[in-house]
Amino acid sequence: MAELDTKRRDKLRKHDFAYVDREGGEHLPINDESHVRNAMSRWNQTDFQSTSAKEEARKKILAAAKKHGIEVDEDDKIKHPVR
């Protein structure tokens, strides 16, 4: 995965992250294929402020995966809505 140093991370916009918390903290970058793959694997390990925030992040990650041609296995937890 490409390393995101502080300078490059600061250049990303809010929509380049699957989740932005209420304080503006940016989590799970989805700006390129390697970061989308990483977000997919870390999504279920991330603390979200609400169930709806987790579901919105899941949808953004899946959309980014589709954009980058990443297939998501049916058994993958991120493939199914948050309960």
Average pLDDT over residues 26-33: 95
Whether 5 has a pLDDT exceeding 80, the answer reads: no
Coil/strand/helix, residue 48 = coil
The enclosing H or E element of 67 equals: helix 51-67
pLDDT-derived band at 9 (thresholds 50, 70, 90) equals confident
Termini Cα distance of the chain? 30
Percentage, residues of the chain above pLDDT 70:
95
pLDDT of residue 1: 59
Domain ranges of the chain: 16-79
The pTM for the full model equals: 0.88
Whether 8 has a pLDDT exceeding 90, the answer reads: no
% helix, strand, coil for the chain, step of 5: 50, 10, 40
Coil/strand/helix, residue 45 = helix
